[in-house]
A and B are shown apart, each in its own frame.
Chain A
Amino acid sequence: SQQGEEDPQALSIQEGENATMNCSYKTSINNLQWYRQNSGRGLVHLILIRSNEREKHSGRLRVTLDTSKKSSSLLITASRAADTASYFCATVSNNDYKLSFGAGTTVTVRA
């Protein structure tokens, strides 16, 4: 079942700007993961944050997790044209340990 919901659905920014997208979910989680998908291609794992972590960094990516609000955010700093893609959050619940994906945020970075 779909658990994560990303917001906004689409985002258009200028190269060099930061991009922020949010994910909300419904049930308690074991961890939350972010994936990137370039047009029509397979998903690529970006970062995993566990339920007992609040913030995680990987290069230009910063992920936060607020379990009290059941939400997460992904920040891409100093965006590049190559960051143009769809970004998905995926939650792993404590009930079934399966990945449940949201519908994604489409990010367009303008040169």
Chain B
Amino acid sequence: EAQVTQNPRYLITVTGKKLTVTCSQNMNHEYMSWYRQDPGLGLRQIYYSMNVEVTDKGDVPEGYKVSRKEKRNFPLILESPSPNQTSLYFCASSFGGSTEAFFGQGTRLTVV
């Protein structure tokens, strides 16, 4: 089954404790991206990757890092989480940035 898998689904952490949210897709997509969703703001892109070892900033990249060492995986790293990063995070993949995107189920992160 074609899917994008994120882990964990829920995470509560404390300010400053490094964390990684994993994302994996099985559709051989070149393009992967991370979004955060906050009430009233829709989805905002954090980072995207056009292929292995090619990543770039989206609209709200501050406080986040990503890596793309393999085509299927695109982890999101928060080196020092802060409460304003409390949000619902989505990973997505597609054949290109302009084509239909497939989304993971989301990771609800709370930073206290």
Task: Give A residues with C-beta under 8 Å from B.
Answer: 1-2, 4, 30-31, 33, 35, 40-45, 48, 88, 90, 92, 96-104
Task: Give B residues with C-beta under 8 Å from A.
Answer: 4, 33, 35, 40-45, 48, 58-59, 88, 90, 92, 96-106, 108
Expressed in whole angstroms, the Cα–Cα distance for A99 and B102 within the complex equals 12
- Contact across chains for B100 and A42 when beta carbons are under 8 A apart: no
- Contact across chains for A42 and B90 when beta carbons are under 8 A apart: yes
- Contact across chains for B97 and A43 when beta carbons are under 8 A apart: no
- Contact across chains for A42 and B45 when beta carbons are under 8 A apart: no
- Contact across chains for B100 and A40 when beta carbons are under 8 A apart: no
- Contact across chains for A99 and B103 when beta carbons are under 8 A apart: no
CB pairs A–B below 8 angstroms (11 shown): A2-B44, A41-B106, A88-B43, A92-B97, A97-B96, A98-B58, A98-B97, A98-B98, A102-B42, A103-B40, A103-B42
